Amino acid sequence: MNAVASYNFAYLDEQTKRMIRRAILKAVAIPGYQVPFSSREMPMPYGWGTGGVQVTASIIGRNDVLKVIDQGADDTTNAVSIRAFFAKVAQVQTTTRTTEASIIQTRHRIPERKLEAGQILVYQVPIPEPLRFLEPRETETRKMHALEEYGLMHVKLYEDIARHGRIATTYAYPVKVEGRYVMDPSPTPKFDNPKMHRSEALQLFGAGREHRIYAVPPHTEVVSLDFEDHPFTIQHFEAPCALCGAEGVYLDEVILDDKGGHMYVCSDTDHCEERREAGHVGRQEAAE
């Protein structure tokens, strides 16, 4: 493919990339701390991952292999467009294989396969501030982060238990990073929270509309908040994936007809395909 003449490598100009890299370095140095950065207009609407795209554009090199997932899937509009975007403006190789990728940009999932040292996971973040809905004033939440006043976060969890009998927060579940900052892991299901803990991969979070970047460097402690008598738990699924029979993975419900028929399949499409190629068969697949 030919380069687009009017654009710099990876779309952003070098000064912008430098500015974003400085923010990323600061974020890596202070795990979980939200670093403000001067977010740029991107050729896509807010909510489509403008933050993640800017982070990816700033760190991507010619030899990188990019994978983009949206809710775990490689083949949804968002994932396909962003992959095509970087293939066009940076001429990088793209992939759907988790193992082959050096950079994985994600919207709301962490791949099932354990990430390795050298890989970078870039999250698209809509609302970086975990305290936002508890305390609307940004001046106040910054102060609360600075002074480590996180009692309010537990007020939310308390409310959950009082109302539902258990902690009903299932996504964007707040975590404490390296014993200091409380962080919103972006709207990933809480199922993925344990994967962040001491991950070998570098995790970068970009919030374009909110002008914030934060990071979890490799091998960093990431602990989900909870109560002593109501410990953190992840979702469990009763049946394995209907296509590949995988257990202990995050499943999506797929509606099959208008008579209530449905099945549960891996949310991570690459993981599912890989297993099926290796000969694993789920209930649905076997029935056909």
Minimal distance, residue 146 CB to other proteins, in Å:
8
> Which residue in 97, 113, 159, 237 binds other proteins (CB under 8 A)?
159
Main-chain dihedrals φ then ψ at residue 275, nearest 5 degrees:
-70, -40
**If binding is defined by CB under 8 A, does position 288 make contact with other proteins?**
no
Is 44 a binding residue for other proteins by CB under 8 A? The answer is: no
Site for other proteins contains 165 (CB under 8 A): no
Catalytic residue among 52, 206, 272, 282: 272
- Whole-angstrom CA distances from 100 to 94, 116, 267 are 9, 11, 19
Question: Contact with other proteins (CB under 8 A): which of 5, 6, 63, 228?
Answer: 228
Catalytic residue among 241, 245, 260, 261: 241
Q: Cβ distance 130 to 185 under 8 Å? A: no
Residue from the set 22, 230, 280, 283 that interacts with other proteins by CB under 8 A: 230
Please tell me which residue in 32, 49, 206, 208 is annotated as part of the active site: 32
What minimum distance in Å lies between the beta carbon of 1 and other proteins? Answer: 52
Selected binder of other proteins within 5, 147, 278, 287 (CB under 8 A): 147
Among 100, 227, 239, 247, binds other proteins (CB under 8 A): 227
Is residue 178 a contact point for other proteins (CB under 8 A)? Answer: no
Cα-based angle 8, 13, 19 (whole degrees, multiple of 5): 150
**Residue (26 or 230) nearer to other proteins, CB:** 230
Q: Report in angstroms how near the CB of residue 141 gets to other proteins at its nearest.
A: 14
Among the residue ranges 21-29, 185-193, 221-229, 264-272, the one whose residues contact other proteins (CB under 8 A): 221-229
For residue 94, give the nearest of 105, 108, 78 by alpha carbon. Answer: 105
d(CA 274, CA 148): 43
Interface stretch with other proteins, choices 53-61, 123-131, 209-217, 224-232 (CB under 8 A): 224-232
The yes-or-no answer on residue 266 being catalytic is yes
Contact between 180 and other proteins by CB under 8 A: the answer reads: no
* Interface pick for other proteins out of 93, 149, 180, 221 (rule CB under 8 A): 149
Residues catalogued as catalytic = 32, 241, 244, 266, 272
Residue numbers of the site for other proteins (CB under 8 A)?
143, 147, 149, 151-152, 154-156, 158-159, 161-163, 226-230
